[in-house]
């Protein structure tokens, strides 16, 4: 387990002015820290009228009118907004809070410097790597896998025991740990050494003593397996199979060997006699992970699974989501889609979207 109370050397959180519901766009009060945060040239914020607000650069009539009077400000803001769009920012009716977070990500990207940020969906701190697209979803938009997150928040209770298989930097691990509390337990599994280091830092950053992190891959047999490891911006696609995700096909993935375990063996070794919830997102190897926990599934009647059903990635691992669904059905499990309010709706395998996170339980309870 990672030690509690470790100190991060990442920059402290940047305080943005409070957001007022009266104004849904940045004012001159919020403009200065945004531009200063990017390390750009100074400007006279006081020369901007108090009733003038920023929107998408292409629809700012007042800013276009100011072009002649304040050319430096205009050029700087044009660069800022163009750069924000390049990292996926949606600038229509953007709040000062969100604009500040986009700019912080942009500034960190230019400096290639990770930073510590509070993740709005789960309320914990995380070391954010601006080179990863997932950071914008975690830190800025706060919309990462919104429905599965809502489902877990609705289901998890104090004292539960959870497994996070394919933990990455720990988004779901932190969510689970926060929900189950000190009386609960979370076991997180991440095979990539670099990503596992981020996971450990995030656990320590939040001083979580109810989490055990393991630097191993979870499959259907113990031993060693060849693993594809990509650069930091593509590390979410690391896999035991050939990387087939469209966003990562041009990436440079090296091959390394990593240790593997089965959940049945792990639970026996660690004397874990109860498991309430398991999240599995391992880039197509979900079926192998499930086969290695057959005893665990059989002995926990009320266990709930959150599993990624990716047809493309499963095929790369030599299986199909249909065969995985049939295997789960043979053990009494039912697939459900998680709706926006966290409610569940039974669904067939054929109706799933490629890569969808699916709620799997022996009843459709939420």
Is the same domain home to 103 and 183?
Answer: no
Is the same domain home to 158 and 41?
Answer: no
Is the same domain home to 88 and 165?
Answer: no
Q: Is the Cβ–Cβ distance between 258 and 191 less than 8 Å?
A: yes
Could you say which of 58, 86, 111 is where a domain stops? 111
Is the same domain home to 183 and 47?
Answer: no
* In a domain? residue 132: no
Could you say which of 93, 111, 129 is where a domain stops? 111
Structural domain containing residue 74: 28-111
- Interior/surface letters 114-149, b for 16+ CB within 10 angstroms, e for the rest: bbbbebbbbebbbbbbbebebbbbbbbbbebbebbb
* In a domain? residue 121: no
* In a domain? residue 129: no
From residue 244, alpha-carbon distances to 43, 100, 237, 239, 351 in Å are 47, 34, 9, 10, 22
* In a domain? residue 346: yes
Is the same domain home to 201 and 271?
Answer: yes
- Cα-based angle 202, 204, 205 (whole degrees, multiple of 5): 60
CA-to-CA distance for 334 and 352, rounded, in angstroms? 13
CATH number at residue 354: 3.40.50.150
* In a domain? residue 36: yes
What pTM was computed for the model? 0.75
Rounded average pLDDT per 10-residue block, the chain, 366 residues: 35 29 37 40 30 36 53 61 54 54 62 79 87 74 88 96 96 97 97 93 95 97 92 79 68 88 98 97 95 98 96 92 96 93 88 94 68
For residue 163, the SS3 value is: strand
**Chain centre to alpha carbon of residue 6:** 22
List residues bridging with 345 in a β-sheet.
Answer: 337
CA-to-CA distance for 5 and 204, rounded, in angstroms? 6
From residue 175, alpha-carbon distances to 4, 123, 202, 238, 349 in Å are 17, 8, 12, 22, 27
pLDDT of residue 302: 95
Is the same domain home to 204 and 56?
Answer: no
CA-to-CA distance for 236 and 144, rounded, in angstroms? 13
Is the same domain home to 239 and 356?
Answer: yes
Could you say which of 111, 129, 157 is where a domain stops? 111
Is the same domain home to 167 and 289?
Answer: yes
pLDDT of residue 232: 73
Q: Domains in the chain: how many in total?
A: 2
Is the same domain home to 210 and 303?
Answer: yes
Is the same domain home to 198 and 94?
Answer: no
* In a domain? residue 366: no
- Interior/surface letters 183-210, b for 16+ CB within 10 angstroms, e for the rest: ebbbbbbbbbeebbebbbbbbbbbebeb
pLDDT of residue 1: 39
Is the same domain home to 106 and 216?
Answer: no
List helix spans (H) across 255-338: 263-269, 286-291, 294-299, 311-316, 321-330
Strand order in the sheet with 217-218: 217-218, 254-261, 223-229
Is the same domain home to 45 and 168?
Answer: no
DSSP label of 362: S
* In a domain? residue 128: no
pLDDT of residue 24: 34
* In a domain? residue 173: yes
pLDDT of residue 128: 84
DSSP label of 93: T
């Amino acid at each position: 387990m990672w030690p509690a109370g470790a100190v991060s050397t990442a920059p402290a959180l940047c305080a943005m002015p409070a957001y007022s519901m009266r104004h849904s766009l940045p004012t001159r009060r919020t403009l200065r820290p945004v531009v200063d945060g990017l390390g750009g040239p100074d400007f006279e914020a006081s020369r901007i009228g108090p009733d003038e607000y920023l929107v998408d650069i292409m629809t700012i009539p007042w800013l276009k009118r100011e072009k002649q009077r304040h050319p430096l400000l205009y050029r700087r803001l044009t660069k800022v907004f163009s750069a924000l769009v390049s990292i996926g920012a949606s600038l229509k009716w953007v709040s000062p809070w969100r604009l500040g977070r986009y700019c912080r990500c942009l500034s960190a990207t230019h400096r290639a410097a990770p930073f510590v940020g509070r993740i709005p969906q789960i309320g914990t701190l995380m070391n954010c790597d601006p080179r990863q697209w997932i950071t914008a979803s975690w830190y800025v938009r706060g919309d990462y896998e919104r429905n599965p997150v809502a489902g877990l928040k609705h289901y998890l209770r104090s004292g539960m025991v959870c497994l996070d298989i394919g933990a990455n930097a720990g988004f779901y691990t932190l969510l689970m740990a926060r929900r189950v509390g000190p009386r609960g337990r979370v076991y997180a599994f991440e095979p990539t050494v670099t990503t596992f280091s981020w996971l450990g830092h995030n656990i320590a950053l939040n001083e979580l003593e109810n989490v055990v992190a393991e630097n191993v891959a979870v499959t259907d047999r113990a031993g060693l397996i060849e693993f594809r490891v990509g650069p930091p911006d593509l590390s979410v696609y690391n896999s035991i199979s050939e990387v087939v995700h469209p966003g990562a096909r041009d990436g440079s993935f090296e091959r390394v060997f990593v240790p593997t375990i089965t959940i049945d063996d792990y639970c026996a070794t660690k004397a874990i006699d109860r498991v309430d919830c398991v999240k599995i997102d391992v880039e197509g190897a979900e079926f192998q992970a499930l086969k290695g926990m057959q005893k665990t599934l059989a002995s926990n009647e009320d266990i709930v699974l959150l599993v990624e059903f990716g047809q493309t990635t499963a095929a790369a691992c030599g299986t199909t989501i249909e065969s995985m669904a049939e295997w789960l059905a043979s053990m009494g499990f039912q697939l459900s889609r998680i709706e926006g309010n966290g409610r569940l709706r039974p669904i067939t395998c054929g109706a799933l979207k490629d890569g969808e996170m699916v709620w799997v339980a022996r009843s459709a309870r939420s």
